[in-house]
Amino acid sequence: MTNSISVLERDSSDSPCYNEEMKTISSILSIQKVVTAIRDKKRRIGLVPTMGAFHEGHLSLMRKARRECDIVVVSLFVNPLQFGPTEDFKRYPCDLMADRKMAQAAGVDFLFAPTAEAIVPPDLETSVSVDKVASRWEGTIRPGHFRGVATIVAKLFQIVNPHVAYFGQKDYQQTVVIRKMVRDLHFNLKLRILPTVREKDGLAKSSRNKFLLKKERSVASILYRALQQAKQSVQEGEHDCQRLAQQVALIFSAEPSVQVDYIAFCHPTTLGLVSRVLRKTVLLLAVRIGSVRLLDNIILHRQRAL
């Protein structure tokens, strides 16, 4: 019997949390045995899928899972399938020791860190592709990205079989794609999408922020300012998306180092463009500053007429 399974066999009647000592598991078979044993004991499993390089955004998902579930599994896998050939797969930050410490402190029970060969063997032929919502915005700029994400997330759902899976709102389109996949493929789990965690100046926490040079970092809060401007304008009664987009574009135009990929006012689930702010509309922003792409978003609510 592996260590990981014996952990489950302690009497936990006076403590719902197993995390006295987090276990790191790399074998798919071992984690499957662990989660089967947990499910047999009618415990709720929360899964936080990640690519590592943990920051407060990841930790907020782990802590929420800790509060809501009996067992917290965090997967750590830098997924080659979701990077294009010219993208930053090779330089994607990775520090397993630091990640282990942070996950342990956040109350995680199992860190599932499989090898690339196990998850993406050379003879892999099956993929999961979500059509429409994945083809827009990031899908246009990063062809194949969401097929890579959906394929790996489907595999993690299959392997870990969680009751609840946690994602951040920061990657809004990713959450929409995963929600569609969960519905279409009848995964029997709940998705929890948690608010974006931000730096003091509003920049959304992201593993890629560390690639911003000092000067670029000081400019990067422009995304947050743009989102706040849109929110304020909507609150003041501006519902025309073209005019709102112009206001946002004007903010970016003041910073020559910022290259805008898109400013999109969208329906929250189809991600199709809308011409007027609906009861609920999502504003998606993607820009490039130096070598770094930054994404952010906000959900806007139309003000009721008095």
Tell me how far, at minimum, the Cβ of 85 lies from ligand PAF, in Å: 17
Closer of 4 and 114 to ligand PAF (Cβ) = 114
Q: Give 28's contacts (C-beta < 8 A, 6+ positions apart).
A: 114, 118, 119, 159
Closer of 171 and 216 to ligand PAF (Cβ) = 171
Strand blocks (E) in 116-273: 164-168, 190-194, 258-266
* Bridge partners of residue 46, in order along the sequence: 72, 164
- In the residue annotation, 239 being an active-site residue is answered as no
Rounded to whole angstroms, how far apart are CA atoms 244 and 149? 31
Instruction: Tell me the C-alpha to C-alpha distance, in Å, between residue 285 and each of 127, 132, 252, 266, 273.
Output: 28, 19, 11, 11, 13
Tell me how far, at minimum, the Cβ of 212 lies from ligand PAF, in Å: 18
Nearest to 283 by CA among 238, 219, 231, 206: 231
Rounded to whole angstroms, how far apart are CA atoms 170 and 196? 5
Interface residues with ligand PAF (CB under 6 A) are 49-51, 79, 82, 149, 152-153, 171, 174
One-letter amino acid identity for 133? V
Which of these is catalytic: 58, 145, 163, 239?
A: 58
Tell me how far, at minimum, the Cβ of 148 lies from ligand PAF, in Å: 7
Tell me how far, at minimum, the Cβ of 220 lies from ligand PAF, in Å: 19
Closer of 175 and 281 to ligand PAF (Cβ) = 175
Closer of 23 and 155 to ligand PAF (Cβ) = 155
List, by residue number, the catalytic residues. Answer: 58
